[in-house]
Amino acid sequence: MASMEAHDSSKLVGSAAEALGDVRPGMSVMVGGFAVIHGWPNTLLRALAGRGAGDLTVIANNLGFGAHSPQVLAERRLVAKFVGSFAGFVGRPTPSEQQILAGEMACELVPQGTFVERIRAGGAGIAAFYTPTGIGTVAEKPEKERRDFGGRPHLLETALRADLALLRAQVADAAGNVAFEGAQRNFQAAMATAADRVVVEVERVVPVGELAPDAIHLPGIFVDAVVREEIPRAEVMAEVMALGRDPTRGGGRAAAGGAAPAARAPQPGVTRELMALRAARLIAERGYRYVNLGIGLPTLVGEWLDKVGSHAVLQAENGLLGYVSTTDLEAWDPNYYNAGGQPVAPLPGSATFDSALAFTMARGGHLDAVVLGAFQVSARGDLANWKLPGVGAGGIGGAMDLIAGGSPVIAVMEHTTRDGEPRLVEACTYPLTGLRCVTTIVTNMAVIEVGAGGLVLREVAPGVTPAEVVAATGCALAVPEGVREMEL
């Protein structure tokens, strides 16, 4: 019987430098991976930087930080344009962000779900598609066609393709068949279909036939070259940790401005942990089953779900359904992490998949609730949560797609800014994430519902009066009879 290896045994290449021998200036390059220490093709990135080919367009979720991330390209000023969802990190300046802010690197921020869908369309030979994501936000650019379907506005988005894709996986065979592990698939499966040349860096190479057909996540038809990793994962993680990153605190992917966040002044009402507890109780009380937790404060909600009797199954947009957080870094498998890059452990019955399917769950209305942080929420439920004006290059993230499916949105936020300015306002002045999407607001001072006529106070935190909540709110707030104390 003929072997697949006999037909295609040349995909295993001796080195990353050899695999990238035909790289030239001006190419577009997709780079797989989701968060800072998870999934970068470190060996291939180093080899690409060593080629010295400039004027590159880099298409990636973010550019990370440190010597093992795509920042190695920005450090050598090889990147002319970045296309992705996060251009900066809280409290951590990077060469790419500095170049973007200086006008030396073009930047196209794309909502995360739209980002992967544009790549998937490029790989499928689909020139463009309509999406409800981004209506009323910076994603709705004047040049984009807007059209109603079923009475709902949609934007026309065009496909993304690249000359080259650099990916990382757990294992491959010489025929180019690839198996990922955990949440490694993220954007990589789509990227493999949308590039003219695809090179995959793997930890292990196995003989053809060792991977069972149903264990192959990326068929060899999409892969041009396979190289073995030359930089062990343990070395990468050790160096990133040495930079001062605590993986239990998440990736910090948001607007930065280069400075560390200022210390929070004491706030009235309850702590951030108790805000998360109240949100967890809401999830339990309403029987929400499938829930996405946004990065930042919302991740704390997951710590309370079991304690309040919720049976919610957590979903993450990097491709994971059914997980719990973990602080046991010695036992942690770094292929499992949430959307903030924090360590998690899969639960019995959990599932992994790629980001295209993850955002299908969100945009398709399959989630029961989404919990997001917020900089501002308007009187009608508009949400602003991805960028402070004039601060950093910004990180548009996945929230625009998470809310596009119409699932209830719980905003967990501090009631006022550090300067005492209201975050609940008549109209948002910060860049919008979505229109009329927030249904419930949990702050350190109150629980508030967004009704047809505006905001309605339902609960006040211990030690806080309804009058104090009204005074701290920058828009009309209805106070019905029987406002109770927040249940904790």
CATH number at residue 398: 3.40.1080.10
Same domain, 144 and 230: yes
If asked whether residues 235 and 346 sit together in one domain, one would say no
318 lies in some domain: yes
Residues 230 and 279 in one domain: no
**Catalytic-labelled residue, pool 117, 157, 317, 459:** 317
Q: Are residues 223 and 294 in the same domain?
A: no
Last residue of a domain, one of 219, 241, 263: 241
pLDDT for the residue numbered 186? 94
474 lies in which domain range? Answer: 272-485
For residue 253, what are its two tokens?
């992917």
Total number of domains constituting the chain:
2
The predicted structure's pLDDT at residue 252: 43
Q: Which of 218, 241, 264 is the last residue of a domain?
A: 241
pTM metric for this prediction: 0.93
Kindly give, in sequence order, each residue whose CB lies less than 8 Å from that of residue 120, ignoring residues fewer than 6 positions away.
190, 193, 194, 356
The answer as to whether 264 is a domain residue is no
Residue 190 CB-half CA count within 13 A = 30
Nearest one of 178, 186, 190, 181 to 217, comparing CA atoms: 178
pLDDT at residue 2, as a whole number: 52
Q: Has residue 31 been placed in a domain?
A: yes
Query: Is the residue at 267 inside a domain?
Result: no
Tens-level pLDDT at each residue, the chain (488 residues): 455 555 445 799 999 999 999 999 999 999 999 876 667 999 999 999 999 999 999 999 999 888 889 999 999 999 999 999 999 877 778 999 999 999 999 999 999 999 999 999 999 999 999 999 999 999 999 999 999 999 999 999 999 999 999 999 999 999 999 999 999 999 999 999 999 999 999 999 999 999 999 999 999 999 999 999 998 777 777 776 666 555 555 544 443 222 334 455 678 999 999 999 999 999 999 999 999 999 999 999 999 999 999 999 999 999 999 999 998 888 889 899 999 888 999 999 999 999 999 999 999 999 999 999 999 999 999 999 999 887 788 899 999 999 999 999 999 999 999 999 999 999 999 999 999 999 999 999 999 999 999 999 999 999 999 999 999 999 999 999 989 999 89
409 domain-assigned: yes
Query: Both ends of the chain: CA-CA distance in Å?
Result: 67
Q: Are residues 321 and 200 in the same domain?
A: no
277 and 159 in a single domain? The answer is: no
Q: Helices 112-124 and 355-363 meet at what angle, rounded to 10?
A: 120
Query: What's phi and psi for 243, nearest 5 deg?
Result: -75, -5
Same domain? 302 vs 164: no
The 10s digit of each residue's pLDDT in 161-178 is 999 999 999 999 999 999
Tell whether 259 is covered by a domain.
no
Of 193, 225, 241, the one marking the end of a domain is 241
| Domain-embedded: residue 262 | no
- Residue 401 CA to residue 115 CA, distance in Å, equals 10
**Residues in CB range of 420: below 8 A, 6 or more apart:** none
Whether residue 212 is found in the same domain as residue 342: no
**Residues 360, 412 share a domain:** yes
Q: Which amino acid is at 399?
A: A
Same-domain status, 385 and 439: yes
The Cα–Cα gap between 175 and 2 comes to 13
Q: Are residues 161 and 307 in the same domain?
A: no
CB 37 within 8 A of CB 341: yes
* 253 within a domain of the structure (yes/no): no
173-186: b or e for each residue (b if 16 or more CB lie within 10 Å)?
Answer: bbbbbbbbbbbbbb
The answer on 206 and 96 residing in a single domain is yes
Pairing of strands 369-373, 409-412: parallel
Check residue 253 and give its pLDDT: 40
Task: Look up 330 and say whether it is catalytic.
Answer: no
Residue 236: what pLDDT?
74
